[in-house]
Chains A and B, each alone.
Chain A
Amino acid sequence: MTEVLNAPVFADVPVREFQPGPAGTHITIRGLTKYFAGWPLYEDFNLDIPKHKIVSVFGPNGCGKSTLINMIAGLVPVDAGEILFDGKSLKDTKIGYVFQNYREAMFPWMRTIDNIAYPLKLERKSKAEVDRRMAELVASFDVKFDLNRYPYELSGGQQQTASIMRALANNPEVLFLDEPFSALDFEMTLFIREKLQEVFMQTGTTMLLVSHDLEEAVYLADQVLLLTKRPTRVAEILPYNDARPRTVETLSEPGFISTKKLSLEIFQREVRR
């Protein structure tokens, strides 16, 4: 009778081996878990985000689209899981982030140009380097407004343009955009969308875009990442391969229409589920 009755049951939890994503993967997310108020938002969530591509994140309300990119960008802590950028941790990765609310993202005590140069200042770049990079950015964004003004003296679209310039100032490997257009009027949205596409074509920066506008999500994307209701999983990843630069004509091309239609069907299926 050496056996102990009702001994605690131990199960051998095998240490899961890290599964690298397919070739061309930039960001690998493995076993991501996040609880909100005791309820799982993400549970053992896996995803590969390709390099030099724009991925649009789309899904039902409250499924945690913004939370997903915020966890990848390190703004929201994860409960468990691993996120690697080309095998590196976030700490060793340069990222840029564009907030929806540009008003509370810029620093109103600095002139707009100093706001844009701030990431370079943090990297202790010399004044000559900063000036060169600023001139480059001004040229590629074709800036027509006075960057020596304070952010609050600019229009909403100008402020959001400036915050995208700031996010790109130190040539980040990944650019996160959290509903960057939803606080802007339509004209400004079109303008900044085009600028973003131009910058992407020039630099090939990996971009993760959260959008609540399906047309916009598909228009900019190489991949549309569709999420389910919580606990959130990947519903579908739709590729969209129409050539860039995409224009207003793109919106009526069959590839665009079918991708958008399919996205909408999957979205509706997931909402009803």
Chain B
Amino acid sequence: MTGTPWAPPAAVPAAGAGRRPSWDKVLPFIGPVMLFIIWDLAVRFGFIKAILLPPPLDALGALVNGLAGGPLLKDFAVTVWRTVQAFMIAAAVGMPLGVLLGSNEKAYRSVEFLIDFFRSTPSSALIPLFLMIFGVSDINKVAIAAFGALLIVIFNSAYGVINARKQRVMAAKVMGASRWQVFKDVLIWESLQPSFVGLRSAVSMALVIVIVAEMFIGADSGLGNRIINSQQVMNVKDMYASILAAGALGYALNIFFLVVERRIVHWSGR
């Protein structure tokens, strides 16, 4: 009788509930780990030639070494700097312009086609045009990335204002707010959340264009340049390290903007 101690029934679900969160924390890592295992097996059993795909640990090692003061770090920094410049220009011009266009719907309708058309045009298709204007320069890469990002920012900010909750605008009006007061106390705030969606897509777009431009417009630095150079000399380890670095950069930028958005637009989704 003393062999099986009695446990209160409540203890069982409590223990289960206590264990579940630790499992939840592991979940996000399952996908990446599986990818690395499949990658490793594919190389190990020779499904893919080692000359096309290095073992994952080699690529990761190259990434860590490269970013820890190696030459990859310099290219990484150059790409970050170009992306940030392009993004800053797009945000500084695009947000005010978008909010202004959005608050005057007639003005927006008159340029809507242009914005939608160039927003739908792959910005990389405009690279030759920008080459003619800016030449093969650092400015060129920033300019075309800024252009692509700008349209996204304008579009989202303008629609943020146009789709502002009508009732909040009415509430301000009925309290006697002037047009300007409605604009600065309601419309700008209402547009913040869609603007952030725009900023987030814009920074991704800027990064994409910067990398493409670094690959194909006579650059001598940057991740795109590094990827294409390693590919030319079949240095796949370095190529994958650079690709992973570019991916990590894009991911980090997205997370960064999500965190900033949650801070500033604290009412979003509530």
Chain A 107-120: CB-based contact to B (< 8 A → 1; otherwise 0): 11100000000110
How many CB-defined contacts (below 8 Å) exist between A and B? Answer: 51
A197 at the interface (CB under 8 A from B): no
- Please tell me if the beta carbons of B175 and A107 are within 8 angstroms of each other in the complex: no
Chain A 83-115: CB-based contact to B (< 8 A → 1; otherwise 0): 000000000001111010100111111000000
- Please tell me if the beta carbons of B266 and A105 are within 8 angstroms of each other in the complex: no
A24 at the interface (CB under 8 A from B): no
B167 contact from A101, A108, A118, A166, Cβ within 8 A: A101
In chain A, positions 116-168 with a C-beta closer than 8 Å to chain B are 118-119, 122-123, 150, 152, 166
Which residues from chain A contact B179 at a C-beta distance below 8 Å? Answer: none
A74 at the interface (CB under 8 A from B): yes
Which residues from chain B contact A166 at a C-beta distance below 8 Å? Answer: 175
Q: Complex Cα distance A170/B171, Å?
A: 14
- Please tell me if the beta carbons of A75 and B174 are within 8 angstroms of each other in the complex: yes
Interface class of chain B by DSSP: helix
Most chain A CB inside 10 Å of its own CB: which residue of B167, B174, B185, B270: B174
- Please tell me if the beta carbons of A122 and B167 are within 8 angstroms of each other in the complex: no
A54 at the interface (CB under 8 A from B): no
Q: Complex Cα distance A210/B181, Å?
A: 28
Which residues from chain A contact B168 at a C-beta distance below 8 Å? Answer: 104-105, 107
Which residues from chain B contact A106 at a C-beta distance below 8 Å? Answer: 171
- Please tell me if the beta carbons of A105 and B176 are within 8 angstroms of each other in the complex: no
Which residues from chain B contact A176 at a C-beta distance below 8 Å? Answer: 174
B267 at the interface (CB under 8 A from A): yes
B36 at the interface (CB under 8 A from A): no
Which residues from chain B contact A55 at a C-beta distance below 8 Å? Answer: none
Q: Complex Cα distance A123/B177, Å?
A: 9
Task: Return 30 A-B CB contacts under 8 Å, by A number.
Answer: A73-B174, A74-B173, A75-B170, A75-B174, A94-B176, A96-B174, A97-B174, A99-B167, A99-B171, A101-B167, A105-B168, A106-B171, A107-B185, A107-B186, A107-B189, A108-B267, A108-B270, A109-B267, A118-B172, A118-B185, A119-B175, A119-B176, A122-B176, A122-B181, A123-B176, A150-B267, A152-B267, A166-B175, A170-B175, A176-B174
Q: A residues near B, CB below 8 A?
A: 73-75, 94-97, 99, 101, 104-109, 118-119, 122-123, 150, 152, 166, 170, 176
